[in-house]
Every structure is written in structure tokens, then in C-alpha cells.
């Protein structure tokens, strides 16, 4: 399909904007810029904050979003969610509206993790924070009102990377049990040599240069298969996956390659390409109605 016309108009209007001059400015611009695209708040069954104490004593914030109209008397299916932002951007507050929309679409309690950000905390700290949050949730499922046997992991972009990587960690460390993984346009390889990286290197919201910067913050100069799930030695024994790629996204091909590797490893996979969409479309419900398709497929 052609690039969504509303997204195309937005990209044209913002083409001459000056890039942020520092990481601090980039973080601030991300918070304000993406929030403007999100649209109205959705109905909620309730939002609550918790604290996970990491092994080193750091306090990891965890925010839960209940689907609208949820029956709290029953244990609910849930999803631990890692937000996007290149491992160095993003926050719980930025993802309030997308996480509530995801809760309503999936009928699951969404538990959003405020993992520590690079470069202050490079790999593997963000991943370990997400894993420790997963363990905390699984251990306290009854108190949280969720069903530990129906606990999924999910994330978008860098958060999709963390969700895929935490599924590998849970497999290799003997748990917790993960019912399914939802990977939304995930960043899975530092190679950046695919056809989609060449076709959409610039001019389609996420750029190749931005991904170079983000990988440098997260991994510095070293490579590690724990940070690049596409290059994991084996994908056998992982939970079933739903993977959504975006048609006009540099990360499109690696997401679809990961789906193929999972299939070859005997993992059940549903992989869908979002037509006309660009990276970060989880934030674009206020920009184009077509962004709703991401939530519909996640719900399915």
C-alpha cells in the first residue's frame, strides 16, 4: 500500500525541523512529540503503580492498566510490557494511553516496566530489569489478580527487543512461564543491512542514523547475542509469538526474518505487516485511524 496519507502529510510538515542537540533534548522532544500524536484517552478499568526492588536495590516502577469493564473477581490474563525508545528514551507516562488501548484491545492487564535507560545503564541492565519485573509479577500473581499461566510479554521497538530477549532468558533460566510474546516492530539486530534499512533509511519517521545512535547507547562497541535476539544460537523452546512489522520501517525485514527463524525452530508464529504504517505507530491513533489496526491484530 502507499504510505498512509495522514502520516505522509505529517512527515512532510515536520521534515525541516531541527534535530535535538543532546540526549536530554531528545528525551524531552520524544515525550512531547509522541504524546501529541496519541489521540484521546480510552476508558479504563483502573491504573495502579507498584515497585519492584531489583537485586542491586534499585526500585523499578511498574504500572498496571486494567481493561475497561474487567471483572476483578476473576484472575485476569496479563502482559508484561516494555516500552520503546531505543533503550535510551521513553517513560511510563509516555505510554499511558498506548498501554490502556492495548489493555482494552487484548483484554489483558498490561504491566508496564520502567526499566533503566542507556547510556547511563547499558546492556544488560535494561534487560535484567525487565526479567526481574517478570519474576516479581509471576511470584505475586494472586495478589495482583492475574493468572500466572496466562502471562505474556510484549513491547514495541526497543521494548520488542527486550520482550524477545526476556523470553530467551526465561527459557534459559528455567522460568517464569510465558504464554506468548507480542513483538511490535522490534529491533532485533545491530547489523542494519536489510533491504528495508536501505529503502527507508531516512524520511519515514525512524531513520538509520537514529538506530545507529540508539545501538551505540545500548551496546557501546561490543556485540552480544543476548542483546540481538535475531542472532541467538537457537530459538527452540520459546513461547508462541505474534510479530507485527510496519511496511515503511527500517526494522521491517528483521522482524519478519525473526518470525521465519522462529518457525524453523518449531515455534508457532503469527507475523503480520501493517500496511502503510511507519515505526512507532502505536502512538499514532490521534494522527490516523489506520493505526488502530495494530491494536486489532494484537487483540486477535
Is the N-terminal amide bond of 124 cis, ω within 30° of 0? yes
3-state helix, strand, coil in the chain (%, to 5): 40, 20, 40
Could you tell me the CA-to-CA distances from 287 to 33, 105, 176 in Å, in that order? Answer: 12, 19, 38
Q: Residue 74: how many CA atoms within 13 Å on its side-chain side?
A: 10
Q: Which amino acids are annotated catalytic?
A: 157, 249, 279
Q: What is the radius of gyration, based on Cα positions, of the chain?
A: 18
Could you tell me the CA-to-CA distances from 291 to 41, 82, 107, 175, 204 in Å, in that order? Answer: 15, 19, 19, 34, 15
Could you tell me the CA-to-CA distances from 3 to 30, 153, 253 in Å, in that order? Answer: 22, 29, 17
- Cβ–Cβ < 8 Å for 238, 152: no
Pure H helices in 79-199? 96-106, 125-139, 141-144, 158-172, 195-199
Amino acid at each position: 500500500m502507499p504510505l498512509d496519507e495522514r502520516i505522509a502529510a505529517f512527515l512532510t510538515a515536520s521534515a525541516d525541523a531541527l534535530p535535538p542537540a543532546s540526549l536530554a533534548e531528545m528525551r524531552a522532544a520524544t515525550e512531547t512529540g509522541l504524546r501529541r500524536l496519541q489521540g484521546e484517552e480510552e476508558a479504563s478499568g483502573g491504573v495502579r503503580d507498584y515497585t519492584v526492588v531489583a537485586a542491586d536495590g534499585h526500585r523499578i516502577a511498574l504500572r498496571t492498566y486494567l481493561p475497561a469493564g474487567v471483572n476483578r473477581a476473576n484472575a485476569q490474563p496479563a502482559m508484561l510490557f516494555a516500552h520503546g525508545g531505543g533503550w535510551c528514551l521513553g517513560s511510563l507516562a509516555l505510554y499511558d494511553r498506548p498501554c490502556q488501548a492495548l489493555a482494552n484491545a487484548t483484554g489483558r492487564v498490561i504491566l508496564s516496566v520502567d526499566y533503566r535507560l542507556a547510556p547511563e545503564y547499558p546492556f544488560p541492565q535494561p534487560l535484567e530489569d525487565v526479567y526481574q519485573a517478570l519474576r516479581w509479577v509471576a511470584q505475586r500473581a494472586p495478589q495482583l489478580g492475574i493468572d500466572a499461566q496466562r502471562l505474556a510479554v510484549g513491547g514495541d521497538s526497543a521494548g520488542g527487543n527486550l520482550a524477545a530477549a526476556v523470553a530467551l532468558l526465561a527459557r534459559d533460566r528455567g522460568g517464569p512461564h510465558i504464554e506468548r510474546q507480542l513483538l511490535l516492530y522490534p529491533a532485533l539486530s545491530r547489523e542494519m543491512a536489510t533491504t528495508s534499512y536501505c529503502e527507508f533509511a531516512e524520511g519515514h519517521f525512524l531513520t538509520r542514523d537514529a538506530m545507529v545512535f540508539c545501538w551505540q547507547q545500548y551496546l557501546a562497541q561490543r556485540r552480544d547475542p543476548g542483546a540481538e535476539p535475531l542472532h541467538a544460537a537457537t530459538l527452540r523452546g520459546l513461547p508462541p509469538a505474534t510479530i507485527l512489522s510496519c511496511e515503511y520501517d527500517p526494522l521491517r525485514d528483521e522482524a519478519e526474518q525473526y518470525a521465519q527463524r522462529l518457525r524453523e525452530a518449531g515455534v508457532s508464529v503469527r507475523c503480520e505487516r501493517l500496511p502503510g504504517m511507519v515505526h512507532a505507530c502505536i502512538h499514532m491513533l490521534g494522527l490516523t485511524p489506520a493505526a488502530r489496526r495494530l491494536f486489532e491484530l494484537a487483540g486477535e
